[in-house]
Chain A
Amino acid sequence: MAAIENAMISNILNATTPTGASGAPGSFSAVGGTAMKVRLNSTASTASAAGTELTGTGYTAGGTAVPAASTASSGGSSVTLPASSALSWTNSSGGNWSIVSMDLTSSAGTRTWFGNFNGQPISVANGNTFQIAVAAVTIALT
């Protein structure tokens, strides 16, 4: 199952196929912005839409920025995140969180990749912490 958001699929395809002038490669629209973010959802994301974003104290709308640059892909290797330190959210909402999926987005919220967590829905009781360890998310084209 594809894990790339639809606009990003087209972006990649157009930049690597003869969709530009006179059959040249099309241009790639850079995602841009500052540090990318991990957004958590209580429902599954799809290629066309993000899932329902988590809410409540302990979670900041839009997601949390990654702590550092991931090692760049080379020779077709995958990219992992987060780099250098785990991402953590402590539930202080007063109720349970039910976490199903995540989206990787630009700092402005443009979605790029998405996927469901293993074991979803993951229940996080009030007072508990949901943590994505270093390199727990792997992103690959093949």
Chain B
Amino acid sequence: MQPEDEPEATPATVRVLDPDGNIVAEYEGITLQAATDIGGEDEEESS
């Protein structure tokens, strides 16, 4: 019974759409991270 107030409606993705708005290709969003060896957390690396 949690209130639905999280703005999660739009998935964090990068997409290619055709002229009708259909998804041609879809990719995970990207993380621009200053350093991966600080803090100890294993974040997904995208770049």
Which residue numbers of A lie inside 8 Å of B, CB to CB? 1-4, 78, 80, 86, 101-102, 104, 113-119, 122-125, 127-142
| Chain A residues whose C-beta falls within 8 Å of the C-beta of B11 in the assembled complex | 133
Majority secondary structure, B binding face = loop
Of B12, B29, B32, B35, chain A has the most CB atoms within 10 Å of the CB of B32
Q: Across the interface, do B46 and A128 meet the contact criterion of CB distance under 8 Å?
A: no
Residues of B1-38 at the interface with A, using a CB-CB cut-off of 8 Å, are 10-19, 24-25, 27-36, 38
Of A114, A131, A142, the contact of B38 (CB 8 Å cutoff): A142
A-B contact list, 12 entries, CB within 8 Å: A3-B32, A3-B47, A80-B12, A127-B19, A128-B17, A128-B18, A130-B14, A131-B15, A131-B16, A133-B11, A135-B29, A136-B14
Residues of B within 8 A of A (CB): 10-19, 24-25, 27-36, 38-39, 41, 43, 45-47
> In the docked arrangement, what's the CA distance between A78 and B12, Å?
14
Of chain A, the residue at the smallest CB distance from B45 is A1
Q: Shortest CB–CB separation between residue A3 and chain B, in angstroms?
A: 4
**B12/A135 in contact, CB under 8 A:** yes
